[in-house]
Amino acid sequence: MLPDPVLLHDALPTGSLNERGRPVGPLRDELRRIPDLANAGHVVGLWLQSAGIIALALWTHHPLAWVAAFLLMGRAHARFAILGHEAAHRLLFSNRAVNDWVGAWLVAYPGFVPIAAYRRGHMAHHKEEFGPNEPDMGLYTGYPITRDSWHRKLRRDAFGNSGWKNLKSLLLAFRSKSARGVAARIMSVQAVIFVGFTLAGYPLVWPLLWLLPWMTVWRVLNRLRAIAEHGGMQRSEDRRLTTHHVRQGFWARFWMVPFNTGWHLAHHVDIGVPFSHLPRFHHELVEAGWIDPRLEYPSYWALWRRASSRPATAPREA
pLDDT at 316 over 70: no
Q: Considering the domain boundaries, does residue 85 fall inside one?
A: yes
State the average pLDDT over residues 6-11.
95
pLDDT at 106 over 90: yes
State the average pLDDT over residues 121-132.
92
Helix (H, G, I), strand (E, B) or coil at 212: helix
Give how many domains the chain has, as a whole number. Answer: 1
Of 281, 271, 283, the C-alpha closest to 242 is: 271
Going from the C-alpha of 256 to that of each of 23, 73, 297, the distances in angstroms are 27, 12, 16
User: CA-CA distance, 16 to 27, in Å (whole number)?
Assistant: 6
Q: Which amino acid is at 270?
A: D
pTM for the predicted model, two decimal places: 0.94
C-beta of residue 259 within 8 angstroms of C-beta of residue 107? no
Q: Considering the domain boundaries, does residue 80 fall inside one?
A: yes
Any residues with CB less than 8 A from the CB of 169 and at least 6 apart, and which?
A: none
Q: Considering the domain boundaries, does residue 315 fall inside one?
A: no
Any residues with CB less than 8 A from the CB of 141 and at least 6 apart, and which?
A: 130, 232
- pLDDT digits over 39-57, tens only? 999 999 999 999 999 999 9
Domain that holds residue 208: 5-307
Helix (H, G, I), strand (E, B) or coil at 201: coil
Q: Considering the domain boundaries, does residue 188 fall inside one?
A: yes
Q: Considering the domain boundaries, does residue 257 fall inside one?
A: yes
Q: Considering the domain boundaries, does residue 313 fall inside one?
A: no
Q: Considering the domain boundaries, does residue 119 fall inside one?
A: yes
Q: Considering the domain boundaries, does residue 168 fall inside one?
A: yes
State the average pLDDT over residues 101-124.
96
